[in-house]
Amino acid sequence: MRIDVLLDVKTTLGEGPLWDAEQERLYFIDSFDGRVFRATADGGELRAWDVPGKIGSMALRKDGAGAIVSLQQGFYALDFRTGDCEPIHDPEPDRPANRINDGKVDRRGRFFAGSMDTMEEGPSGALYRLDPDFSVHEVDTGIICSNGPCFSPDDRTFYFADTWTGEIWAYDFDLETGAVSNRRTFARVDTSEGGAADGSTVDAEGCLWNALVYAGKIVRYTPDGAVDRVIDMPVKKVTSVMFGGPDLDTLFVTSMAKPPLPRFPGDGVQRGSLFAIRDLGVRGLPEPRFGA
């Protein structure tokens, strides 16, 4: 195993690595600077798009025209050709202190994304599902900081974390309807030691990989929630993970250059870099696109 700095872009709050298996391109975002990046697997051909506000996550569209992005003001459609970013729906117009955060697409093209309290203190957030017809459905409530949504390879389990509860949850998932039920604790994180569950992905073996933000660790959990592997990263503020590359065997890891709140720690010179972890002996799964 080796850990490389793929791009030293100093993202203020790097998040959401997303590998496009069709075009073999890596996307990632800077949540605070409101920017979407794209590069090749080796970090080449870097370009970026600005969006009108803080961005929590993105989903590539099946029509190839662009992406769905979750912003502070709700869901938007980003056109890669023109750079236009048009509003779709704001599910929380009455909660100006919230923003939409992490999100992933299921294998029927629905985008699951949750909101968060920007001060990361109160349970004012919720989990939403954006369907291909642009209808929005509330899935769960009472969330402080939404993070880590992802799906098991058999589409029967949905994983999700409220970062500061110290838990990663599992739900029963109905692929036909997009409904989730039977929320339970999948794994616990000891937040007293400084780390907390951030972005996640699931590999081809059904194991969940999670970025422990502020602890500088990547943890692999088996399908029954047991810790299988821990990787120490060169920075503390790792934020999210995604398998990619031509063989889906490189783990891309985002990080932040500046903590979002004063109580969080700083980091070294590699802060805000996009990392690539190679030679893990594990492959990921292609990420679905949004749309019918």
pLDDT digits (tens, 9 = 90+) for 49-67: 999 999 999 999 998 779 9
Domains of the chain with bracketed CATH: 2-278 (2.120.10.30)
Q: Is 172 annotated as a binding residue?
A: no
pLDDT of residue 218: 97
pLDDT of residue 118: 87
pLDDT of residue 191: 80
Q: Is 45 annotated as a binding residue?
A: no
CA dist., res. 145 & res. 47, Å (int)? 29
| Single pTM value for the model | 0.96
Burial-class residue 246 by CB neighbours within 10 Å (0-12, 13-18, 19+): exposed
The answer to whether 46 touches 37, Cβ cutoff 8 Å, is: yes
pLDDT digits (tens, 9 = 90+) for 120-162: 888 999 999 999 999 999 999 999 999 999 999 999 999 999 9
- Rg of the chain, C-alpha, whole Å: 17
- 129 token code pair: 């599902």
Could you tell me which of 124, 73, 130, 70 has the C-alpha nearest to residue 101? Answer: 70
Could you tell me which of 211, 212, 209, 231 has the C-alpha nearest to residue 220? Answer: 209
Q: Is 99 annotated as a binding residue?
A: yes
- The percent of residues in the chain predicted with pLDDT above 70, rounded, is 100
Could you tell me which of 146, 113, 143, 145 has the C-alpha nearest to residue 130? Answer: 113
pLDDT of residue 264: 75
pLDDT of residue 67: 98
State yes or no: is 30 an active-site residue: no
Identified catalytic residue from 30, 106, 162, 198 = 198
Residues forming beta bridges with residue 81, ordered by sequence position? none
Q: Is 15 annotated as a binding residue?
A: yes
- 255 token code pair: 């990080």
Give per-residue burial for 110-130: e unless 16+ CB within 10 Å, then b: bbbbbbbbbebeeebbbbbbb
pLDDT at residue 6 tops 90: yes
State the pLDDT confidence band at 70, using cuts at 50, 70 and 90: very high
Could you tell me which of 270, 237, 232 has the C-alpha nearest to residue 255? Answer: 237
pLDDT digits (tens, 9 = 90+) for 87-109: 999 999 999 999 999 999 999 99
pLDDT of residue 65: 79
pLDDT of residue 34: 97
The answer to whether 218 touches 238, Cβ cutoff 8 Å, is: yes
Q: Is 263 annotated as a binding residue?
A: no
The answer to whether 233 touches 2, Cβ cutoff 8 Å, is: no
- 55 token code pair: 């961005």
